[in-house]
A and B are shown apart, each in its own frame.
Chain A
Amino acid sequence: MSPLPIPWLEAAIFLALTGAASISRLHNLNRAWHWGVAFTGAVFACTLLASLGFYLQVPAETDAGWCLQQYLFGRPYLGLDELNAPLVPAVALLHFLTAAATARTKMRSYSLTWSLSAEAIHLAKFACKEPAILVVLLAVGAVLPLVELVNRRRPTRLYVLHLLLFVSLMLAGWRLLVTAGGDASRTTAATIALLAAVLIRCGVVPAHCWLTDWFEHSSFGIALLYVLPLSGVYAAIRLVLPIAPDWVLQGIGLVSLITAIYAAGMALVQHEVRRFFAYLFLSHASLVLVGLELHTSVSLTGALSLWFSVMLSLGGFGLVLRALEGRFGRLMLLEHHGLYEHSPTLAVCFLLTGLASVGFPGTLGFAAADMLVDGAVTVNLFAGIAVVATAALNGIAVVRAYLLLFTGARHTSTVSLKIGLRERVVVLTLVALILGGGLVPQPGISSRQRAAEEILEERKGHSNASDRSYPCPPALSSKRCYRIHPTARRQNLSAIPSLLGWRYLAEASPTEKAVCTKSNERALEPVFAETYF
């Protein structure tokens, strides 16, 4: 029996939660760290198998006759599709590598309990396509930084204000949408509220201060893990993109473009490493949003590829900065520090990951950036120029930081500050992924293109529909639930009338099951679940 039909995704989330609960009881830091690495490693392995199962088109656990989610909740809420299949293991990988690269000096400030809890929520969030559950997970996930700030006894007021605004807008938008009942004005108001919530979560100007404040006050590793998966972008795709009218998307694009340029400019004048990183991240996250707004196949593929690239390259970049912080404490970008001689590998990795994030040729981000610019130019030449200018400014910011940190008069130290073995393995893993993905980008780009087409078709299906509600509940259209045979697609859907009433495959009759194979689910798209809300 193949191990792939096992519900690995659910196992990953369960393991993360179990790990968080177990480690919270441990008082020995070193032991906690060992267990933390083991748990995050196991979670990563589970997500990898889940993703592998998806790409190898292994029959879902529902077909095997047992489905954990169905057993627990009555229907499957979590699942993988083209969009999230590579993102889920990438999130788990980030958590695993961050835990593994934690230096002894940082073990006290890096809470593995927090990390594993956040990982469980992240994984559930990224695997969830059902809007109602996603809203709840986003709201719960947003509370985690507050816990960290309280634990570290840092000021929370600024974050709480943004958190309240985000959660209220999200819930209000959701409530309005549920009760809209075909009323166009209420639906538009709901879309705007959801959009505002998403923009706050993404940190677009002027609601970005929570992000820089978060980097100021939290542990660097935890700050990285909270922001790097770009949950806001995921929320935008799942909640806003399917229902937002074009003018709303243009609004997102304009605000995101302004944020991207503004953050790139701010990254150039920062005096401190963490703030520099925060703005660099903000600029990249906004570029991903710009690509979403353009909603052409090329730009969307570019944005989704850039998303993946940003996670890995800025993840590596952040881990290098964290390694430096572990040796020298917080670093200012006012003087030349001359750190190259202490650890040339860290210097090279800093440059590689930093340049990869700005789409340097030969790295993972290049094809993505190229496609994004191409898509932007198709829509508006000035948007294309702005995207290119942002990338140029970010490139200058990265090299400026490199020169300030790694060049300058070297000072001798009696203590070895070379990169450690664990750090070396972690950073080189990310570098290998970045360069490998850059030299052979086609598989990644193809996967992102399929995801982009799914998103666009979902949006198209929605715009053709008379009412502004989400298409057939995403959990239902998950590849793991059921698909319609191509021959059935060509037939009139009325030939299988019970299709409208299906909730999931287990409820289908044997005859109906017969037409369900792993092929194309597009036939389901015109089918709207009217009773969904």
Chain B
Amino acid sequence: MLDAVEWMTWLGMAAIAAPVLLVVFLGVCSLLEQRLSEQAINRSIQAAIGVGLLSSLGVLMLMLALGTRHVVVYVSEWVNTAGFHVAVKFVFDRLSVPFAILSFVLTGTIAVFGSRYLHREPGYNRFFVLYAVFLLGMIMAALAGTIETLFLGWELVGLSSALLVAFYQERPGPSRNGLWIWCVYRVSDAALLLAAVVLHHMTGEGDFDRLLGTGPWPAGRASVSGTQAFIVGVLLLVAAAGKSGLVPFSGWLPRAMEGPTPSSAVFYGALSVHLGAFLLLRVSSLLERSVWLCAVIVALGLLTAVLAYLAGSVQTDIKAALSFASLSQVGLIVAEVGLGFRYVALVHLLGHACLRTLQFVRAPTLLHDYHTLENAIGEHLPRPALPINHLIAEPVRLRLYRLALERGYLDSWLRSYVVVPFVCLFRYCDALERRWTDFLTGARSRESDEVKPIPPRIEELL
């Protein structure tokens, strides 16, 4: 007969195994080009999410009943060599369990919404394969007990997000936006990977228990010095900023709205956008070792909140407005983490995710809702001006308006000072190489110059 601890372990394993099996099932079918019906896809997703949610709730109940605040599910040694050790381990505690349950609830709800929204869409299967990858990434990241496991989930979330932004792939716009988002995510991933490696050096392994102290969240005390905490913390903050769209990476969030509404809702309204804040919450005992680091986090959070509020105020597209509204709240949550209000931040995160998901899924029918309301009251809905408008001088207000319209100039700044110089530099190198190879060859060296930008149709070649 299993005892309570074994039950918790098995339930924990089931919560992780359910999305893994879902990805394997949908992924293998897609690779083998076995077309599944919409019904089969829906059922498999509902089954996986149902099992995962019930297992997570089971763990929560047992934890509450037993008064346990920290359950470790050890899966295996992933790599173990001299000087390098990585384990696959998951942790159920006061932070991870609510976030995992939130992930299951919201992805389950949106999966049902999405199955109707995308009914008979050509990319239906592709959407749900990527959606399953996203779910797996979220659960991995939420329950991760080592930084490497978190990195795995982090990357899966990033990849699925970028590809879902490019979901409507017939148009070039979504592809470009997907690429931009992927670029930002890669910066974020690089920072997280470096943080993981530096942590490895400090503690010998990537276990959060070793790094953040053995006490259950949030009572752990990190065993690193202030300087070490600052270095790792800055790397983690860059990673969080990229994933959550904090300054200076905020520009990707409205671009992400090119994706289908269901993915926008669950990714950028609810879960993915909060992953950076979740990461900071997870390592909060490390953050408190450095006052300067906390100050930077608070400043970055508040700056993001203000900028997102300004940018959101001038948006004319409902999804973009909602995305900036999300961002302003994420900024506040990050500031709360920096101030050390961990439970406040966690509750804020959970509540905001639920509210924003609801708003996103209502977004496509917003005009209908407005008309219904206006018909009900018999007049236009009131549009009050900002309460502080009269306190700001006209020139300043104009500057602010411009700043808001340009979304803080962040995108154009990144483009002008990072992307364009980078591309120009390497194109210049490419031109130099061309001259060099032409010189060595004694003729035009590149056959590829003769290739047409678009290949001829296959019928023309026959």
Q: Is B417's beta carbon under 8 Å from chain A?
A: no
Given A158-B441, A399-B179, A410-B170; A385-B194 close (CB under 8 Å): yes
Tell me which of A10-18, A87-95, A333-341 binds B: A333-341
Instruction: Point out which of B197, B437, B446, B458 has the most chain A C-beta atoms below 10 A from its C-beta.
Output: B197
The answer to whether B79 touches A298 (Cβ under 8 A) is: no
CB pair B433 A209 closer than 8 Å? yes
Known: A329-B461, A355-B159. A400 touches B437 (CB 8 A): no
* Neighbour of B33 across the interface among A330, A344, A385, A407, CB < 8 A: A344
Contact B429 A262 (CB under 8 A): yes
A428 → B minimal CB distance (Å): 7
Q: Is the CB of B151 within 8 A of A361?
A: yes
Interface size on B, residues (CB 8 A): 74
Q: Which of A296, A332, A340 sits near B453, CB closer than 8 Å?
A: A332
Contact with B along A157-184 (1 / 0, CB 8 A): 1100100000000000000000000000
Q: List the B side residues contacting A400 at CB < 8 Å.
A: 179
C-alpha spacing A155/B183, complex, angstroms: 38
Interface string of B144-180 (1 = CB under 8 A from A): 0000100110011001001000100111101110110
Which single residue of chain A is at the shortest CB-CB distance from B456?
A: A329
Residue B389 CB within 8 A of the other chain = no
Flag if A403 contacts B79 (CB, 8 Å): no
User: Is B81 a contact partner of A330 (Cβ separation < 8 A)?
Assistant: no
Complex interface: chain B residues within 8 A of A374 (CB): 84, 197, 200-201
* B442: contacting residue among A155, A344, A388, CB under 8 A: A155
* Interface stretch of the complex, out of B57-65, B222-230, B391-399, B418-426: B418-426
In the complex where A361-B156, A399-B179 touch, is A408 in contact with B429 (Cβ < 8 A)?
A: no
> B444 to nearest A CB, angstroms?
9
Q: Which residues on the A side are within 8 Å of B354 (C-beta)? A: none
Is the CB–CB distance between A301 and B31 below 8 Å?
no
Please indicate the chain B residues that have their CB under 8 angstroms from the CB of A212 in the complex.
Answer: 433, 437
Is the Cβ of B433 less than 8 Å from the Cβ of A298?
Answer: no
Contacts of B461 in A (CB 8 A): 329
Within 8 A of A (CB), among B424-462: 425-427, 429-430, 433, 436-437, 440-443, 445-448, 451-459, 461-462
Give the docked Cα–Cα distance between A287 and B375 (Å). 66
Contacts of A413 in B (CB 8 A): 457-459
Query: Does chain A have a CB within 8 A of B77?
Result: yes
- The contact string, 1 if C-beta is below 8 Å from chain B, for chain A 393-431, is 101100110011011111101110110000000001001
Q: Is A489 an interface residue (CB 8 A)?
A: no
B80 at the interface (CB under 8 A from A): yes
B197 to chain A, nearest CB (A): 5
| Inter-subunit contact A395/B81 (CB<8 Å) | no
Q: Which residues of B contact A297 (CB under 8 A)?
A: 81-83
Chain B contacts of A280 at CB under 8 A? none
| Inter-subunit contact A298/B77 (CB<8 Å) | no
Report the minimal beta-carbon distance from B101 to chain A, rounded to whole angstroms: 24
B134 sits at the interface (CB 8 A): no
Question: Separation in Å of the A209 CB from the closest CB of chain B?
Answer: 5
Q: Which of A209, A341, A384 contacts B440 (CB 8 A)?
A: A209
- Per-residue 0/1 for A261-272: is the Cβ within 8 Å of any B Cβ (1 yes, 0 no)? 010011011111
Shortest distance in angstroms between A395's beta carbon and chain B's nearest beta carbon? 5
* Count of A interface residues, CB-CB < 8 Å: 82
Q: Which of A301, A334, A341 contacts B81 (CB 8 A)?
A: A301
B454 near A335 with CB under 8 A, answer yes
Known contacts A158-B445, A336-B172: does B31 contact A348 (CB below 8 Å)?
yes
Q: Is B246 an interface residue (CB 8 A)?
A: no
Contact of A332 among B170, B436, B452 (CB under 8 A): B452
Is A407's CB under 8 angstroms from B169's CB? yes
Whether the pair B445, A411 counts as a contact (CB closer than 8 A) is no
Interface flags, B172-213, vs A, CB<8A=1, else 0: 101110110011001101100110111011000000000000
Q: Which residue of A lies closest to B462 (CB)?
A: A415
The answer to whether A449 and B453 have CB atoms under 8 Å apart is no
Q: Using Cβ atoms and an 8 Å threshold, which residues of chain A touch B171?
A: 409
Q: For the complex, what is the distance from the CA of A172 to the CA of B255, rounded to whole Å? A: 58
A377: Cβ under 8 A from any B Cβ: yes
User: Is A275 among interface residues, defined by CB-CB distance under 8 A?
Assistant: yes
In-complex Cβ contact of A338 among B81, B169, B193, B457 (8 A): B169
Q: Judging by beta carbons under 8 Å apart, are A396 and B429 in contact? A: no
Q: Are A384 and B79 in contact (CB under 8 A)?
A: no
A301 proximity list for chain B (CB < 8 A) = 81, 84
Partner of A378, one of B79, B201, B422: B201
Contacts of A409 in B (CB 8 A): 170-171
A389 contacts chain B at the CB level, 8 A cutoff: yes
In the complex, what residues of B have CB within 8 A of residue A362's CB?
152, 156
A392 within 8 A of B: yes
Chain A 212-232 residues near chain B, CB threshold 8 A: 212-213, 216-217
Binds B, one of A29-37, A73-81, A121-129, A439-447: A439-447
Give the chain B neighbours of A345 by CB distance below 8 A: 31-33
B86 at the interface (CB under 8 A from A): yes
Contact of A360 among B155, B172, B179, B423 (CB under 8 A): B155
For the complex of A and B, the 6 pairs showing the least CB-CB separation, nearest first, are A407-B169, A272-B448, A361-B152, A328-B455, A158-B440, A392-B186
B contact set with A: CB distance below 8 Å? 30-33, 77-84, 86, 122, 126, 148, 151-152, 155-156, 159, 162, 166, 169-172, 174-176, 178-179, 182-183, 186-187, 189-190, 193-194, 196-198, 200-201, 422-423, 425-427, 429-430, 433, 436-437, 440-443, 445-448, 451-459, 461-462
- Residue positions of A touching B, CB distance < 8 A: 155, 157-158, 161, 209, 212-213, 216-217, 262, 265-266, 268-272, 274-275, 296-298, 301, 327-332, 334-338, 340-341, 344-345, 348-349, 355, 360-362, 367, 370-371, 373-374, 377-378, 384-385, 388-389, 391-393, 395-396, 399-400, 403-404, 406-411, 413-415, 417-418, 428, 431, 441-442, 445-446, 449
List 27 A–B pairs whose Cβ atoms lie within 8 Å, in order of A's numbering: A155-B442, A157-B442, A161-B440, A212-B437, A216-B448, A266-B430, A298-B83, A301-B81, A330-B447, A331-B451, A332-B454, A341-B122, A345-B33, A362-B156, A370-B84, A371-B79, A373-B193, A373-B194, A374-B197, A384-B197, A391-B193, A395-B189, A399-B162, A408-B175, A410-B170, A413-B459, A449-B82
